[in-house]
Amino acid sequence: MKSFLPVLLFIILFWSCKQEKSAPSSEKQSTENSITIADTEISDDLDGTVFKTSTGKSIELITDQKSSSLNDLKIIPLDFSNTKDTLKIEDCDPLQNSWIQDLDQNGFDELYLITASAGSGSYAKIYGYASNQDLSMTPIHVPEISDKDLLADGDYYGYMGHDSIYIANNKIYRKYPVYKEGDPNCCPSGGDKTLSYTLQQGEASWILKIEN
């Protein structure tokens, strides 16, 4: 029995030393893992949303908020077989709304994005992206509002922002208060006007065209 005790003590001391030597390696591995995780975190300023179309396609929208009044938007067709290109809108107003909708009823959904300026006028802007038979996506041409459009016989007469945009009956509608000459920003006196847009295929691109 006496000869067995030294052997037992040796085994206990050897096992204790082995445990102490292995501890730093475990701590080092834990630290390396935490660094890897931190390096791959997504910025809090990025916000991603994935839309599903009626035909099962996925479109990712990533919003990069650069400031309270300025954004970058990225539109990524995730499973469109003929493209992997990212479509970009840079330095745009904050995103207010977004829809997946098949306005022209051709069986393939479009993506519509609505932005609005952060100023007192809250001017809204429409962006659109059409599916080319679910093979690729291309921007929809939305004509800019020109000075001629603001004249008495123009489509946007009396327009000074404060508009709301919505979809109904396969059309996009823009409703806004009409400002007459001399009206202050707070008090439009010309009632309301509503414009409707339809999606049409042009020779080179899709067009969002004013119907009335």
User: Backbone phi, then psi, for 81, in 5-degree steps?
Assistant: -65, -25
The structure tokens listed for 28 are 């080092």
Q: Compare 107 and 29 and report the one with higher pLDDT.
A: 107
What predicted TM-score, i.e. pTM, was given to this entire model?
0.76
Better pLDDT: 37 or 91: 91
Count the domains in the chain: 1
Task: Let me know if residue 63 belongs to a domain.
Answer: no
pLDDT digits 0-9 by tens, 121-139: 889 999 999 999 999 999 9
| pLDDT tens digits, 80-108 | 999 878 999 999 999 999 999 999 999 99
Is residue 195 assigned to a domain?
yes
Is 55 domain-assigned?
A: no
Does 143 fall in a domain?
A: yes
Instruction: Look up residue 110 and give its amino acid.
Output: E
Is 35 part of a structural domain of the chain? no
In this structure, are residues 55 and 134 in contact, taking their beta carbons and an 8 Å threshold?
yes
**Cβ-based neighbour number of residue 163 at 10 Å:** 23
On whether the CB atoms of residues 87 and 139 are closer than 8 A, the answer is yes
Q: Does 133 fall in a domain? A: yes
